[in-house]
Amino acid sequence: EDQVTQSPEALRLQEGESSSLNCSYTVSGLRGLFWYRQDPGKGPEFLFTLYSAGEEKEKERLKATLTKKESFLHITAPKPEDSATYLCAVQEETSGSRLTFGEGTQLTVNP
Amino acid sequence: GAGVSQTPSNKVTEKGKYVELRCDPISGHTALYWYRQSLGQGPEFLIYFQGTGAADDSGLPNDRFFAVRPEGSVSTLKIQRTERGDSAVYLCASSLRRGQPQHFGDGTRLSIL
């Protein structure tokens, strides 16, 4: 059974204080690992897909990396508008459809 | 362009009633997914449609839950004899093809009294 564990559950940062979120996963064969951002009362917003170990993707202040067991979402010099819940999900090779999500990391960036 | 649209945004009903939740996917997306999200949890997979057919319904919790997509576009999730434990946010997502990134709507918040 696919499993995704995210840490920490919650993270408070000061504006400009860089940090990383962790996503550890267990899957029989990884088709893709997905990062989403979710604001209160909204649906998850797609950020990145990573397909193979060593791959990196960047978007503004965010950079996602992937190894065979985990993924990191690095946030450089965050701003208050980066405050949200960040969700990680894996897609298994054989199904290629369903996403298995972690419980998310709630990020708060204080001005 | 327009994103995934879900209606209603909120639904409050009594235990034992029947409810229908609607999802209008992004135009041209052949794959459609339903998830359920409880407070403080990540979304949990329910069912996946490829075109008109349910390709994977293994996430449906029991036979009170049913979903259709008769013309390969709009989908309806149907819940019979609702229970208080069905209260959650029901999310719909669509993707261009199987395996492509899934784009979510803002969900229907279902409350069973």
Each residue of A45-55: pLDDT tens digit?
A: 999 999 999 99
Q: Which of B45, B47, B100 to mutate to test the interface with A (most CBs of A within 10 A)?
A: B45
Note the pLDDT of residue A1: 84
Portion of chain B with pLDDT greater than 70, in percent? 99
Q: Chain A contact for B21, CB < 8 A? A: no
Contact A85, B88 (CB under 8 A): no
Whether the bond between B43 and the residue before it is cis, its omega within 30 degrees of 0, is: no
State chain B's mean pLDDT as an integer. Answer: 96
pLDDT at B74 over 90: yes
- Helix, strand, coil percentages in chain A from 3-state DSSP, rounded to 5: 5, 60, 40
Phi, psi of B26 (to 5 degrees): -65, 135
Distances (CA, A) of A27 to A30, A37, B8, B89, B100: 6, 22, 35, 26, 18
Q: Chain B contact for A93, CB < 8 A? A: no
H helix or E strand, kind and range, residue B18: none
Spans of chain A below 70 pLDDT: none
- Report the residue from A41, A44, A95 with minimal CB separation from B104: A44
Note the pLDDT of residue B37: 98
Q: Which of A35, A97, A101, A105 to mutate to test the interface with B (most CBs of B within 10 A)?
A: A97
Scanning A13-32 for CB atoms below 8 A from B yields 31-32
State chain A's mean pLDDT as an integer. Answer: 96
Q: Which residues face A4 on adjacent strands?
A: A25
pLDDT at B88 over 60: yes
Distances (CA, A) of A60 to A38, A77, A80, B87: 17, 10, 14, 36
Q: Chain A contact for B88, CB < 8 A? A: no
Note the pLDDT of residue A2: 87
The 3-state DSSP class for residue B39 equals: coil
Note the pLDDT of residue A95: 78
pLDDT at B2 over 90: no
Report the distance separating Cα A101 and Cα B43, nearest Å.
Answer: 6
For the segment B74-84, the average pLDDT, to the nearest whole number, is 98
Backbone angle region of A80, left / alpha / beta, with phi > 0 → left and psi within -120 to 50 → alpha: alpha
Note the pLDDT of residue B1: 54
CA distance B41 to chain A (A): 5
